Structure 1
């Protein structure tokens, strides 16, 4: 198991996750709930952001109040399913830059193959939050983190809706320094590399494809 995993234990989060798991949930509702959960996860993953005190004037008096300080944020979506989480996070973090890493899973080897990479030019100076709904084998997430580290990124967190033990083991082996935040650690992967009980293919359910 990864040494630095946080499973969010919140009744509202679990309720919304059940809606996503339900095969009867429509595409529009699936998208909406993914955005809602992503916003909640953005709140949790930024809990330890550094702050500093600045002088301001309220309608009543002068005072000092906290503002976010330190490195600026960048959200990285692992395409294509990661795009579904970005909107919800940007609602809470409107000043964050957004980057994209395109990866697909080879159906035979289950290894990640990169086909797109676009991030801010100053990515090495930013705190990076990588998002992907599913941490299954962990190969795509690991490849994305390795690519970002090649560009000099030293502050990275990974956020997903569901994680499988197999994916957590991959991340523990290859990126033990990266904190992981998830809404649920599920049972296992099936023979096709899907999380069980899971919620199906997040990309297909977000975009109405098969």
Structure 2
């Protein structure tokens, strides 16, 4: 697994404002979109391309475009939805699917409760959007789910990651090709599995439900 922390002054600045507890939801959503655009710029650096013949106002030439089949963007419900706009602004020809997963409180297993994806992902480069990589359980199962549908490659984009989550991905997905792009790797998880220092519950802050 390849892990890349995107180090850039604008990333650091926007992340700092996201962390502040007094940042209102409307600003949080806007900054999340902008931050995802910066992360997506790096995460798509080696996306598959193909030549295309075009006509400019002056002459004919050969340009480059995203190869077919185009990338598939998959936000993990619900907080991943807050990252979607920034991603599709950077890759407007990409298709979008959805994946919802939650922990069964009795068995502690991760179960899929919603999905809207092609049945066959052969040849598709899938970009998974999930703001927080905390324990890693949901992301592990999401990646497995996508590879079971024959995805050719999976790239994950997260705002923050905890060392524990990264270690779990490396342990449980050993030998699986996964790229992870994050704005920062924080210190640890607390007793409630929140990332420290973190930014709180990303979903609640995106949708105005935080206290």
TM-score w.r.t. length of structure 1: 0.91
Say yes or no: does 1:199 pair with 2:199: yes
**For the aligned residues, what is the CA RMSD?**
1.9
Contact kept, 8 Å, 1:4 with 1:178, in 2: the verdict is: yes
Greater alpha carbon shift after TM alignment, 32-41 vs 181-190: 32-41
SS in 2 for 1:143: helix
How far apart, CA to CA, are the structure 2 residues paired with 1:195 and 1:52? Answer: 40
Say yes or no: does 1:18 pair with 2:13: no
- C-alpha spacing 1:199/1:123, structure 2 compared with 1 (3 Å): same
- C-alpha spacing 1:36/1:109, structure 2 compared with 1 (3 Å): farther
Q: Residue 43 of structure 1 is aligned with which of 38, 41, 54?
A: 41
Residue of structure 2 equivalent to 1:148: 146
Contact kept, 8 Å, 1:111 with 1:140, in 2: the verdict is: no
SS in 1 for 2:14: helix
Unaligned runs of 5+ in 1: none
How far apart, CA to CA, are the structure 2 residues paired with 1:65 and 1:95? Answer: 16
- C-alpha spacing 1:7/1:116, structure 2 compared with 1 (3 Å): same
Contact kept, 8 Å, 1:134 with 1:162, in 2: the verdict is: yes
Unaligned runs of 5+ in 2: none
Contact kept, 8 Å, 1:110 with 1:193, in 2: the verdict is: no
* Structure 1 residue 59, shift from structure 2 partner: 2.6
Say yes or no: does 1:102 pair with 2:100: yes
Contact kept, 8 Å, 1:110 with 1:139, in 2: the verdict is: no
- C-alpha spacing 1:104/1:43, structure 2 compared with 1 (3 Å): same
* Structure 1 residue 204, shift from structure 2 partner: 0.6
Residue of structure 2 equivalent to 1:65: 63
* Structure 1 residue 107, shift from structure 2 partner: 6.5
How far apart, CA to CA, are the structure 1 residues paired with 2:206 and 2:103? Answer: 18
TM-score w.r.t. length of structure 2: 0.91
Q: Deviations over 1:51-70 (max 9, x none)?
A: 23333332333322222224
SS in 2 for 1:124: coil
Q: Figure out how many residues of one structure are paired with residues of the other and give that number.
A: 208
